[in-house]
Amino acid sequence: MSSPSHPAGWPQWAQAIPPEPDEHVFETGGTYVLAYLFALLFSLPLLITIVVPLVAIWFFWGRSGRFLLTSHRLIWNPHMGKKVIIPREALRGLEIDVGTRMRSVSLRGAQKLTMPLLWRYKKLWGGLLLLQRWQPPSTTSATAAFKVVAGWRVSGLQVQPGAVVILRDSVRFLPEEPSANVAVEGGAAMAGLMLGVTYRSHRAQLPVVSALAQVARAQEPQSELDSLQRLVSGETWQGPPAKQGPAGKGRTRVTYQEGPRKLTFVVPAE
């Protein structure tokens, strides 16, 4: 009996782990590049000893690693230590703690796990939040019931990224993260540059595009779409778009507008 093939996006380092039936990849990520730099910088001045450099390497590099978040589980592969696999049902009972300075995501409760110095830690954070509140549907169709593209909702200086679901007589917008004021964000970044401090926003990023790819192939995509839209506080935009125009070779920019509020996204030209 042959083993099931891995779904799209399954990382190379996890090829030895067989996928579960109808399992889909939500997010993957690895070690933040500064983990290597921190380990080197803390080790070089202390080479006169043996223990301290080894501790520094373990703390900044050994404790970090790579993650794979799927519709069924979280797989954590540290550089030093054994892989940890937490099923979706167990994730729902755990508390999520985010450390912005160390770019870490920690789980507390019946099972404890700390994942520090992560590249794409906001993606993991958002994916865990979504899995704790949402039951991914089983996919029964090889054909998607609707098209999904990335988009932006704009209201004055408030900008919010997300996913746009294109339906026959309307579009749906499902936000990826909370809206941000571009003037405030830009001012904070400029102030950080003047003070020599790097400014970063810290907002969980929900994997709505990955989730919608699974919803589009569910047995009842419409009801599953309605459920996910309510969960993430999405909204529906009715009627034809207010404006359409070219957005580069083979692409069209589409804009919906309601008063000062705009929803804009790019689709392949027909």
Q: pLDDT for 145-176, tens place per residue?
A: 999 999 999 988 888 999 999 999 899 999 99
Beta-ladder partners of 118: 31
Better-scored residue on pLDDT, 47 or 21: 21
Helices 208-215 and 221-231 sit at what angle, rounded to 10 degrees? 160
Average pLDDT over residues 227-233: 97
Q: What integer pLDDT is reported at residue 179 of this predicted model?
A: 87
Average pLDDT over residues 257-263: 90
Q: What is the pLDDT of residues 104-152, one digit of tens each?
A: 899 999 999 999 888 889 999 999 999 999 999 999 888 999 999 999 9
Q: Confirm if 232 and 175 have CB atoms less than 8 A apart.
A: yes
- CA–chain centroid gap for 143, Å, is 24
What domains can you pick out in the chain, each with its CATH number?
20-132 (2.30.29), 147-268 (no CATH)
Name the pTM for this structure.
0.84
Residue 237 neighbours by CB under 8 Å, 6+ apart: 170, 171, 172, 173, 256, 258, 263
Cβ-based neighbour number of residue 244 at 10 Å: 13
Euclidean distance between CA atoms 262 and 267, whole angstroms = 16
Tokens read off for 48: 């006169």
Q: What integer pLDDT is reported at residue 103 of this predicted model?
A: 83
Q: What integer pLDDT is reported at residue 2 of this predicted model?
A: 45
